Amino acid sequence: MSKIKPSKGAPYARIMGVGGYRPTRVVPNEVILETIDSSDEWIRSRSGITSRHWASPEETVAAMSIEASGKAIADAGITPEQIGGVIVATVSHFKQTPAIATEIADAIGAGKPAAFDISAGCAGFGYGLTLAKGMVVEGSAEYVLVIGVERLSDLTDLEDRATAFLFGDGAGAVVVGPAKEPMIGPTIWGSEGDKSDTIKQTVSWDAYRDGTVEKFPAITQEGQAVFRWAVFEMAKVAQQALDAAGITSAELDVFIPHQANMRIIDSMVKTLKLPDSVTVARDVETTGNTSAASIPLAMERLLATGQAKSGDTALVIGFGAGLVYAATVVTLP
């Protein structure tokens, strides 16, 4: 018989607060057209994007995360010292080590929490949320800060007609804490590594270091393959998340998919047969694709503008490079 005492965590977990940060510089499509042969009409029809935010040198991954985190902590009504875990989802922190989460934890005054980064592309926030839920329920932390942050402008090839217009910068954060009833549903997550080449970094860092290639690494993708996968396969995953939570589409209040592309979002809504009463996040129009930051940024904007309200039931799903995905149903803070 084991001598290990059982964990004393919370029975359930919930999102308690949310915060976001968008860089001050707004970049309209006209700026993108300076380096690619395209048109504003083509970009809008392909992606639904009219503008995006690009970070200045001062708006670092850490700086944007700190701003978003401060808002989330205040929204949750706790102090930084109560944070027992900091999880950062990003693919654009350019130091292999140490984890940027440790720097952020220190900067916000969180004391000595568990702090680590995860790399799960556009599904990173969903992965972090699931890990945070486990930490709260297991009892290793009472409150966990989950951050999705990207400076994808650093990884954008402005001469690549297929991707130059897609990406933006920003940070979104949530605080996950204890709950007396289920407020974060089961996560449906996974990967399809056989399709990993459909979204990838153009060249490895060591190839760039060794001079094998001269052009700085960037993100590239096979647009049509990604579109088909996202629309058909991710709609199935989203439905599985609804089923796992015991929620029907008629009971859903809000849908917050990864803000990859407006056509993907609209196609998923149609495939899932969501009723008109469901509020759908379409933050991609003025924020672009911010990868791991897109879901918390969209969540923050819906709540701030009154399009969604505290207590609403929301389906969130992230999907991207890997190919990886994560979907769950949550109660909005």
Segment 18-72, tens digit of pLDDT = 999 999 999 999 999 999 999 999 999 999 999 999 999 999 999 999 999 999 9
Q: Determine which of 5-19, 105-119, 171-185 has the lowest per-residue pLDDT on average.
A: 5-19
298-307: average pLDDT: 98
Written as one letter, the residue type at 85 is G
Q: Determine which of 7-11, 282-286, 316-320 has the lowest per-residue pLDDT on average.
A: 7-11
Q: How far apart are CA 290 and CA 71, in angstroms?
A: 19
96-108: average pLDDT: 97
Annotated catalytic residue, options 29, 53, 93, 122: 122
Peptide bond into 152 cis (omega under 30): no
| CATH value of 185-332 in 3.30.70.3270, 2.40.50.140, 3.40.47.10, 3.90.930.12 | 3.40.47.10
Query: How much is the pLDDT for 8?
Result: 85
137-156: average pLDDT: 97
Query: How much is the pLDDT for 223?
Result: 85
Is 258 assigned a catalytic role? Answer: yes
Cβ-defined contacts of 92-98 (< 8 Å, 24+): 92/61, 92/149, 92/150, 92/151, 92/152, 92/154, 92/155, 92/291, 93/61, 93/117, 94/154
Query: How much is the pLDDT for 5?
Result: 84
Is residue 90's pLDDT more than 90? Answer: yes
Classify residue 96 as exposed, middle or buried by CB count within 10 Å of its CB (0-12, 13-18, 19+): exposed
| Domain-wise residue ranges, the chain | 12-181, 185-332
Is 261 assigned a catalytic role? Answer: no
Compute the half-sphere exposure of residue 330: CA atoms within 13 Å on the CB side of its CA. 31
Residue 103 neighbours by CB under 8 Å, 6+ apart:
62
Contact 165, 41 (CB under 8 A): no
Query: How much is the pLDDT for 166?
Result: 97
131-147: average pLDDT: 98
CATH topology identical between 12-181 and 185-332: yes
pLDDT > 90: percent of the chain? 92
Number of Cβ within 10 Å of residue 115's Cβ equals 21
Among the listed residues 108, 150, 100, the one whose alpha carbon sits nearest the alpha carbon of residue 318: 150
Annotated catalytic residue, options 29, 53, 258, 261: 258
The fold of 12-181 is Peroxisomal Thiolase; Chain A, domain 1 (3.40.47)
Q: What is the mean pLDDT of the chain?
A: 96
Is residue 171's pLDDT more than 90? Answer: yes
Kindly indicate the confidence band of residue 2, based on its pLDDT and cuts at 50, 70 and 90. Answer: confident
Query: How much is the pLDDT for 214?
Result: 85
Query: How much is the pLDDT for 86?
Result: 98
Annotated catalytic residue, options 29, 93, 261, 289: 289
Query: How much is the pLDDT for 18?
Result: 98
